Structures are given as structure tokens and as C-alpha cells.
Amino acid sequence: MQSGYYSSAAGMVTQFNRLDTIANNLANVNTVGFKEDNLVIGDFQRLYKEARDELPNANHSEDGAQFLNRAMTKAPQVVDSYTDFTVGNMQQTNNDMDFALSREGLFFLVKTPQGVRLTRDGSFSKDDEGKLVTKNGYEVLPNDYFESGGNISFSDDENIIKVDKSGQVYTNIPNSAKLLQGSHLFIVQPDNAALLKKEGDNLYKYEGNTDLKPLNSTEAVMQGFVEKSNVNAVKMMTQMIETNRLVGMYQKAMDTQMNDMNRDAIEKLAKRA
């Protein structure tokens, strides 16, 4: 079978993966705190050149490479993926339970049934028990969580809630307008953003949660604001059109390869007959 058919098929699969990523970005264009995902497209031949001299097998040396089918090794494929963590636009809501982080790389810490997770989605609220929770009901954690546990909660009489730019929470004395210092939001900045893995509900998993240290003077918390998604809808639509066209081109190439193979087979069978 002609190697061009394999290369075209590999290219089409790669574009399908790219379409999935673009569609997911567009689906979350209005999701608070969502970060755009992207793929890196490469080819096997380049990856092979980077690694072949490090392999112990002599057959995989530079001399052995001459026996490879050079056309097949140029098939495009997804070689890496990454998340764009740039800060999105800030939208004012005037809701005291909404919070945004104005600096890149900062996250709120929340508690889920699967463990501690990170999020940029600061659309919080109070549950029936007075705990500060995310829109999915996950507890928002205080900065001393790993030392003493606990949560951030408010009584029914604490109807004035203020949070400064560093995440320090202040609430009023019952039946008074005087504010007292309370809990402090657990805000972290992972050392290596590449170790963050996206999960559902706009959450991130980070290996080594015990190594996460709270930042107590970020000057980045904005109360009454939410951070919009950093997805550029126009750019995503342009990429979707481009990807659809590439899929069509690969489809035509596969059809051409298959037609050529069928024609060759018919001609050879006819000669033998």
C-alpha cells in the first residue's frame, strides 16, 4: 500500500484532534476563569532525529536510519499540548461573593471529593451551612488549611463581607458595622504550571499539594469581579475554518491514493488475465 495514504490518514487524525480542542475552547468562551488549550503539531521524522543517537540499539543509529521509509516518517501528529494561562478580561459584577485574580499563575485552593484542587473561577457563594463554596459546591479553603484544616464560613449575622487585595477576609460584628479580621483565602502560585492537569468543573490537579504554600500578600484579589475566559472567539473560529479545510485536503489526498491503488491493481490483474 502506498505510504502517502498513511501520511494523509495520520494528518486527518491530527486535524480531528485539533478540532476537538478548538471546539472545547469555543464551548467555554463564556466560562469564568477558563484557560485556552492548544496543540503542538510535529512529525515523527523530527522526533526521531532528536532521539535516535541516544538509543542504545545500533540499528537505531544514524546509519541505520537510511533503511527507514522517509515518506512515512513525515506524517504529522500531535506531539504536545499546553494551556495558555494569560489573564482574561475582568468583568465587574458588584457581587461580594465574586472574586478575580489579576495576576497570571495564581489560583484559589478548593476541596473536592477527589482531593484538593486549584481554580481560577472565583464565582463563590454561601451554602446552607454558611460555608464559602464554588458554584459546584466545593469548599473554598483558608490559607492555614494544611496546618489546621477547617473552612471559610460565615454566620447569619455576618452580612457584611469584605476581602482585601491579598485575600484577607473581614466580616462585621453581629448587629454592628464594625469589621473584624477573619479567615484568609488560600491563594497559591505553582512553581511549574506544566504540572497542572485540567479536570472537570474548571478545576486543576497539581501533584504534590503539600508543597503548595499560601501567598499572603498577592495584591491581586479583586472583590466584586470575575475573570472572563481568555479564549479569543474570532481566532478560534478562524482556526476551525482552517482545520476543516485541511481535513478536506487530506480526504482528497486519500481518495487520490486509493484510486491510484485500485487502478494499478486492475491493470495488473488485467495483464495477468
pLDDT at 47 over 90: no
- Label residue 5 by pLDDT band (50, 70, 90): confident
pLDDT at 190 over 80: yes
pLDDT at 248 over 90: no
pLDDT at 144 over 50: yes
Per-residue pLDDT at 49:
62
> Of 175, 179, 129, nearest to 154 (Cα)?
129
The mean per-residue pLDDT over the stretch 113-140 comes to: 94
Mean of pLDDT over the chain = 84
Sign of CA dihedral 40, 117, 214, 96: positive
Give the residue, 163 or 258, on which the prediction is more confident.
163
Read off the C-alpha cell for 52.
Answer: 535516535
pLDDT at 241 over 90: yes
Lowest mean pLDDT: which of 31-40, 169-178, 225-234, 255-264?
255-264
Per-residue pLDDT at 27:
94
147: left (phi > 0), else alpha (psi -120 to 50), else beta? Answer: alpha
Read off the C-alpha cell for 216.
Answer: 499572603
- Label residue 76 by pLDDT band (50, 70, 90): confident
Contact present, 243 and 26 (Cβ < 8 Å): no
pTM for this entry: 0.78
| Strand, coil or helix: 185 | strand
Other CB atoms closer than 10 Å to residue 73's CB: what's the count?
Answer: 17
Residues with Cβ within 8 Å of residue 133, at least 6 apart in sequence: 124, 125, 126, 127, 139, 140
The mean per-residue pLDDT over the stretch 51-64 comes to: 53
The secondary element (H helix, E strand) that includes residue 240 is: helix 233-272
The mean per-residue pLDDT over the stretch 186-190 comes to: 94
pLDDT at 69 over 70: no
pLDDT at 72 over 50: no
Per-residue pLDDT at 100:
96
Rounded Cα distance, 68 and 201, in Å: 45
Domain segments of the chain as ranges: 3-85+231-272, 90-227
pLDDT at 209 over 50: yes
Residues with Cβ within 8 Å of residue 200, at least 6 apart in sequence: none
Per-residue pLDDT at 7:
75
pLDDT at 15 over 60: yes
Contact present, 19 and 35 (Cβ < 8 Å): no
Per-residue pLDDT at 71:
44
